[in-house]
Homo-oligomer: A and B are copies of this chain.
Amino acid sequence: MRESATERLTATAARLFQERGLTRVGINEIIREADVARMSLYNNFKSKEDLALAAYSAVSKNRQDAVDAAIAASDGPEAAILAIFDLAVDLASRASFRGCAFIDLAAHAGLNDARLLDLARGHKAALRGRFSRLAQQAGRSDPETLARQLLALWDGSLTDAFIEGDTAPISAARSAAEHLLRQGE
């Protein structure tokens, strides 16, 4: 037996929301792609926003796991930070890449559903927290500021990579991160 309707719905919604954003994907398309009846969606989720909450949570968890794996595979905090930027290149190299899904989510969900905005905030805070921890392990005196700088480089370079259709902004951001790491050690 194949995976449950809930799993198929969550996975399909996660994929479509990443590819085109929350508001540009309707439930008709989701249930068609997930091969699930309309009522099966509403039997498993109270609303589209509840489904979105589950889908984006799964995406967030996957991203954080990938970041943690990259950190674990790296030799020291500085290398780990650069390895995280290498992940961004992977993300942006996918054909369907359209910028960070959580930026789009925050821009879109802000006014309607506080839960979705909180999820986007939490995702960014989680990444920033990892940067901060690594900066602290690298012996930085002000790890929070460095973490904010690295997060801005991450978010901005992913955004610019989408707008330009090229990964050059991410490479540049990675080298900026190297400079910042060398600066105040």
**A residues whose Cβ falls under 8 Å from a Cβ of B:** 20-21, 23-24, 98-99, 103-104, 106-108, 110-111, 120-121, 124, 145, 148-149, 151-157, 159-160, 162-164, 168-169, 172-173, 175-176, 179-180, 182-184
A153 touches B151 (CB 8 A): no
Q: Which of B21, B155, B176 contacts A160 (CB 8 A)?
A: B155
B172 touches A149 (CB 8 A): yes
A106 touches B156 (CB 8 A): no
B21 touches A107 (CB 8 A): yes
Number of copies: 2
Bound-complex Cα distance A98 to B107 (A)? 7
Most buried by B among A21, A104, A107: A107
A124 touches B160 (CB 8 A): yes
Having A24-B108, A103-B163, one finds 5 other A-B pairs with CB under 8 Å, namely: A23-B23, A106-B163, A149-B153, A151-B160, A152-B157
Residues of chain B contacted by A20 (CB below 8 angstroms): 111
A176 and B149 contact, Cβ closer than 8 Å, known pairs A98-B107, A155-B156, A156-B157: yes
Q: Which of B110, B154, B169 contacts A151 (CB 8 A)?
A: B169
Q: From A149, which residue of chain B is reached at the shortest CB distance? A: B176
Q: From A162, which residue of chain B is reached at the shortest CB distance? A: B106
A160 touches B148 (CB 8 A): yes
Q: Which of B148, B153, B175, B183 contacts A168 (CB 8 A)?
A: B148
A148 and B172 contact, Cβ closer than 8 Å, known pairs A24-B111, A183-B183: yes
Nearest-Cβ distance from residue A176 to partner chain B, whole angstroms? 4
Residues of chain B contacted by A120 (CB below 8 angstroms): 163
Residues of chain B contacted by A106 (CB below 8 angstroms): 99, 162-163
A152 touches B179 (CB 8 A): no
